Amino acid sequence: MSEVKDTQGQLWEVFIQSKKGLPFKHAGSVHAFDKEMAIQNARDLYTRRGEGKGMWVVPADAIVAVDASDEESFFDPSNDKIYRHPTFYELPEGLKNM
């Protein structure tokens, strides 16, 4: 066996669904050496009090995130399309059920 480094394993991000039908929310991270260990460690760490009905674990390095310094320009295209919001429209007084 080749010399294996003594590490704490890979970093995994943990997402928990608190109730069926609700979105999965980031709960934190966990160290583990493989998928099976990751999901078991995540269960022991983040759901000791019935916090979860569903759980995802994802290798942290597989997550693609927006670069913090690019945030402004990255999300900029949404700022100039105010007509995407329902409050943009001028509608006759007395309109109901819309």
Partner 1 sequence: MGAEELDVLFQERIDANEKIEPRDQMPEEYRKHLIRQMSQHAHSEVIGMQPEGNWITRAPSLRAKKILLAKVQDEAGHGLYIYSATETLGISREELIERLHQGKAKYASIFNYPALSWGDMGAIGWLVDGAAITNQVSLQKTSYGPYARSMVKICMEESFHQRQGYEIMAQLAKGTLEQKQMAQDALDRVWWPALMMFGPHDSDSPRTGNAMKWKIKRESNDVLRQRFIDKTVSQAELIGLTIPDPDLKWNEERGSYDFGEIDWDEFWSVVKGGGPCNIKRLNHHKKAHKDGEWVRKAAASYAQKHSKT
* β-pair partners for 16: 25, 55
> Distance (Å, rounded) from C-alpha 60 to C-alpha 29?
8
Interaction between residue 78 and partner 1 (CB under 8 A): no
Alpha-carbon distances of 61 from 15, 56, 87, rounded to whole Å: 15, 15, 40
Secondary structure (3-state) at 43? helix
Residue 49 CB, shortest distance to partner 1, in Å, is 7
> Distance (Å, rounded) from C-alpha 17 to C-alpha 54?
5
Amino acid at residue number 42? A
C-beta of 31 vs 39, nearer to partner 1: 31
For partner 1, what does the binding mask look like between residues 32 and 71, x meaning CB under 8 A?
-xx--x------xx--xx---------------x-xxx--
Interaction between residue 11 and partner 1 (CB under 8 A): yes
Residue 60 CB, shortest distance to partner 1, in Å, is 9
Which residues of this protein are in contact with partner 1, per CB under 8 A? 1, 4-11, 28-31, 33-34, 37, 44-45, 48-49, 65, 67-69
